[in-house]
Amino acid sequence: MKLQIHIKTFSELDTNELYALLQLRSEVFVVEQDCVYQDIDYKDQKALHVLGFHEGILVAYTRVFNAGEYFNNPSIGRVVVRKKERKYGFGHEIMKASIEAIYKSYGKQRIEISAQRYLDKFYRSHGFQEIGEGYLEDGIPHIKMIKD
């Protein structure tokens, strides 16, 4: 199985895509992880949205930012895969597509993420290294990671 990847700016998203990505983020980050936080943060307008569809359904997603728009370096965030779809490697596909989107849109440079701590092995498999001490973000352990 392989994802069909679409990369769009906020203004290029249609209402169905926007609804689907907000639903997926809420399903995983708010409901599954039982974390009450403000997902709609007015940063989506600055992001490139990397959407991964399988059989016409959004199953994986990230948003990426240029340097200075979120962190000092280009960054990837809101990395999410629908729970029942995680066994197919879609997380790796969406990360590869997100890294390539940064390189293509902003040039090959250092990428910074704020990773949920339990996923550090996943991110290391994509070339990210832990930087500094862990911290809590919305009550969930995170670690800053960098890919050079």
pLDDT of 38: 86
pTM of this structure: 0.95
Quick one: three-class SS letters along 49-101? EEEEEECCEEEEEEEEECCCCCCCCCEEEEEEECHHHHHHCHHHHHHHHHHHH
Q: Is 137 inside any structural domain? A: no
Per residue in 126-142, pLDDT (tens digit) is 999 999 999 999 889 99
Q: Is 117 inside any structural domain? A: no
DSSP letter for each residue of 99-141:
HHHHHHHH-S--EEEEEEGGGHHHHHTTT-EEEEEEEEETTEE
Q: Is 57 inside any structural domain? A: yes
pLDDT of 138: 87
Q: Is 90 inside any structural domain? A: yes
Q: Is 142 inside any structural domain? A: no
Question: Considering the chain, what percentage of its residues have pLDDT values greater than 70?
Answer: 100
Task: Report whether pLDDT(86) > 90.
Answer: yes
Residue 41 sits in which domain range? Answer: 4-109
Q: Is 135 inside any structural domain? A: no
Q: Is 145 inside any structural domain? A: no
Q: Is 120 inside any structural domain? A: no
Task: Report whether pLDDT(66) > 90.
Answer: yes
- Check which CATH number belongs to the domain holding 24 and give it: 3.40.630.30
Number of domains in the chain: 1
For residue 131, give the nearest of 39, 139, 123 by alpha carbon: 123
Residue in the structure block whose two tokens are 């990847």: 5
Per residue in 22-51, pLDDT (tens digit) is 999 999 998 888 888 888 999 999 999 999
Per the prediction, the chain carries an average pLDDT of 95
